[in-house]
Amino acid sequence: MLIYVDGEMRTRETAMVSVFDHGLLYGDGVFEGIRVYNRRIFRLDAHLDRLYASARAIALDVPLAPTEMAEAVRRTVRENRKEDGYIRLMVTRGTGDLGLDPRKCPRPTVIIIVTDIQVYPAPLYAAGIKVVTSPTRQVSHEAVDPRIKSLNYLKNVLAKIDAGRAGAEEAIMLNADGFIAECTADNLFVVRGATLLTPSPQDGALDGITRSAVLSLAAEAGVEAREARLTRYDVYTADECFLSGTGAEVMPVVEIDGRRVGTGTPGALTRRFQEAFHALARSEGDPVW
């Protein structure tokens, strides 16, 4: 494995950052998770657009232009010869001191890791997963806008702990008003009748790249799909439910808080979007090596 660190390709054993890097000390930075399918990087431009928007929102000057960053990502994929894999692209505030002041960090750090990922065991994509509602709430958009994909994921980690202790694979996070925001690392969709519904960023959902792909696939298929304010009642009474995310792809949900979703098996629309997304991801774009 070769890892990109500030323009250099380093082995896993030598890829290091300073203990004074503010990404480590304070979670001060932004990141993107990106997939490689069939030697193609899935929607790299969309991921970079979100990365640079997140950086601007926290007043972080990315040291590479978007075209340079795109080439750095492609280079790292080529160097690792990945047919299928996962890219973790991070930009931290950089090395400073033990104070919070970002002015003490003269240059951000850029790290690109290309590796394998399996968020859920393969059999669960056919069987579906159990989900619980976490008592850990999404941070209010009045504090930190959920569209910022920052390195500070503590709330998500705590919600994931809640899921594990409840014997579930994932957890739903509510916002301060009790509406569904998202899951710990995935967006959420419910099917009611023939309509697909998903929380909006205004309710705390990340504006996910896979989420966007699902919405586009729905439009192409003539399936009504829209953002909506959702509560636990909506997921408890849904005909189908599934999650979407870069790591998770499209994952069926068959139980929420001990309540069976629909028939208790992945539904027809969920299966349809699983297949459509898989086909799209493996064919979109040109191979990078």
**Active-site option among 82, 104, 130, 149:** 149
Rounded Cα distance between 187 and 92, Å, is: 25
Q: CB neighbours (10 Å) of residue 255?
A: 17
> DSSP string of 49-88?
HHHHHHHHHTT---SS-HHHHHHHHHHHHHHHT-SSEEEE
Strand duo 129-133 + 249-256: pairing: parallel
Q: Which two tokens stand for residue 272?
A: 């349809």
Catalytic residue status for 160:
no
Q: Which two tokens stand for residue 190?
A: 């419910």
Phi and psi for 6 in degrees, rounded to 5?
50, 50
Buried b (16+ CB within 10 A) or exposed e, 125-152: beebbbbbbbebbbbebeeebbbbbbbb
Task: Provide the annotated active-site residues.
Answer: 149
